[in-house]
Homo-oligomer: A and B are copies of this chain.
Amino acid sequence: MQIAVVVYDRFTALDAVGPYEVLSRAPGAETVFVAERPGPVRTDTGALAVVADRSLDEVRGPDVVLVPGGPGQSALMEHGPLLDWLRAADATSTWTTSVCTGSLLLAAAGLLDGRRATSHWLALDQLERFGAAPAEERVVFDGKYVTAAGVSAGIDMGLALLGRIAGDEHAQAVQLATEYDPRPPYDAGSPDKAPAHLVESLRAGSRFILR
């Protein structure tokens, strides 16, 4: 089973690394990081680069497609090579997945028309404009399309998908191995829980945090 993690300039690292960390531990998984051109790809903060080992052209027919989000997504919404690749890969994939604003790229490729899907809470309205039916849920399955909410939601998505692929017991073993028993020190992880002024600040585009 080949898992293709698509990366691009200014993606958000945790969007990709969260689900990678669990899905890559599926039995028989071959995970590959792909980009338009192979080589280092710099994330949104500028402080981290990950290596794309393969170009899009070199990866044809992956079983699982995973598209992370991040500020760099907005520059790719009409980017032919990536959207063409997503459509071609989706034609034969078993699962087509995204985290955060990665779902906007799937939508821009026409893959989420009329489908229930999610995204970062700040991007749900955009998702609707691109033809999907936005759902305010952390992980949304619609057939073979699996979308996760913002950034950290990719870990929950990855584990849920791992359960479908490899069985609940294997997914639980990976949860135990990665000690995923989260205890956030605050309870501000969604717009309905966080202080209202912080929600407004992020809506207004707090660049310091979102870059």
> Using a CB–CB distance below 8 Å, which chain A residues touch chain B?
12-14, 17-18, 20-21, 24-25, 27, 30-33, 40, 45, 47-51, 53, 100, 120-121, 138-139, 149-153, 155-156, 159-160, 163, 168-169, 171-186, 188-191, 193-195, 198-199, 201-202, 206, 208-210
Residues in B whose Cβ lies below 8 Å from that of A120: 179
Indicate if the CB atoms of A48 and B27 lie closer than 8 Å.
no
Instruction: Decide if the interface of chain A is mainly helix, strand, loop or mixed.
Output: mixed
Least CB separation from A13: chain B residue:
B17
Report B-chain residues with C-beta under 8 Å of the C-beta of A27: 208
Q: How many copies of this protein are present in the complex?
A: 2
- Contact A185/B209 with A49-B51, A150-B178, A175-B194 known, Cβ cut-off 8 Å: no
Q: Are A174 and B30 in contact (CB under 8 A)?
A: no
Chain B residues near A189 (CB-CB < 8 A):
175-176, 178-182
- Contacts of A186 on B, CB cut-off 8 Å? 159, 163, 168, 171-172, 175
**What are 11 sample pairs from A and B whose C-beta atoms fall under 8 A apart?**
A12-B21, A25-B45, A40-B40, A150-B178, A150-B179, A159-B185, A163-B185, A173-B201, A175-B188, A176-B188, A177-B206
Closest to A45 in B: B24
Contact A182:B179 (CB < 8 A) given known A32-B47, A50-B50, A173-B206: no
User: Could you say which residues of chain B place their CB within 8 Å of the CB of A198?
Assistant: 169, 172-173, 176
Given A188-B175, A194-B176, A198-B172: A155 and B181 interface contact (C-beta under 8 Å): no
